[in-house]
A and B are shown apart, each in its own frame.
Chain A
Amino acid sequence: MSVTYDVTETLDVKGVSCPMPVVKTKSAIDDVPEGGILEVVATDKGSMSDLDGWAAGTNGVELLEQFEDGDVYKHYIEKTA
Chain B
Amino acid sequence: MSTEPSSTADGTQLSAAELQARVEELEATVADLEADDEQQKMTIVATQGTFDMAYPPLILASTAAAFGWDVVVFHTFWGLDILHEEKSQALQLSAVGNPNMPMPNALAALPGMDRLATRMMENRIDDNGTATITELIDLSLEQGVELQACQMTIELMEYDEDDFYDDVTVGVGAATALQHMAESDIQLLV
Binds A, one of B1-9, B125-133, B160-168: B125-133
- When chains A and B are docked, how far (Å) is the Cα of A25 from the Cα of B59? 15
Q: Are A15's CB and B129's CB within 8 A?
A: yes
Question: What is the CA–CA distance of A43 and B66 in the complex, to the nearest angstrom?
Answer: 19
Q: Which of B68, B128, B139 contacts A23 (CB 8 A)?
A: B139
Chain B neighbourhood of A57, CB < 8 A: 67
Are A19 and B129 within 8 A (Cβ)?
A: no
Say yes or no: is B88 at the interface (Cβ < 8 Å to chain A): no
Q: By the criterion of a CB under 8 Å from any partner CB, how many residues of chain A are at the interface?
A: 18
**Chain B facing A: main interface SS:** helix
* Chain B positions 22-66 with a Cβ under 8 Å from a chain A Cβ: 38, 59, 62-63, 65-66
Q: Smallest Cβ distance from B126 to chain A, in angstroms?
A: 11
Write out the residue numbers on chain B whose beta carbons fall within 8 Å of the beta carbon of A26: 65-67, 143
Binding site for A on B (CB under 8 A): 38, 59, 62-63, 65-68, 128-131, 136, 139, 143
Whether the pair B67, A18 counts as a contact (CB closer than 8 A) is no
Tell me the interface secondary structure of chain A in the complex: loop
Q: Give 20 pairs: A residue, B residue, CB < 8 Å, sorted on A.
A: A15-B129, A16-B130, A16-B131, A17-B128, A19-B62, A19-B63, A19-B131, A20-B129, A23-B62, A23-B66, A25-B66, A26-B65, A26-B66, A43-B129, A44-B129, A50-B63, A54-B63, A54-B66, A54-B67, A58-B66
For A36-79 the 0/1 string (1 means CB < 8 A from B) is: 00000001100000100010011100000000000000000000
Q: Which of A19, A25, A43, A57 has the most CB of B within 10 A?
A: A19
Which are the 7 A-B pairs with shortest beta-carbon distances?
A26-B66, A19-B63, A16-B129, A15-B129, A23-B66, A17-B129, A19-B59
* CB-defined contacts of B143 to chain A, threshold 8 Å: 23, 26-27
| Contact partners of B131 in chain A: CB under 8 A | 16, 19-20
Instruction: Output the nearest chain A residue to B128 by Cβ-Cβ distance.
Output: A17
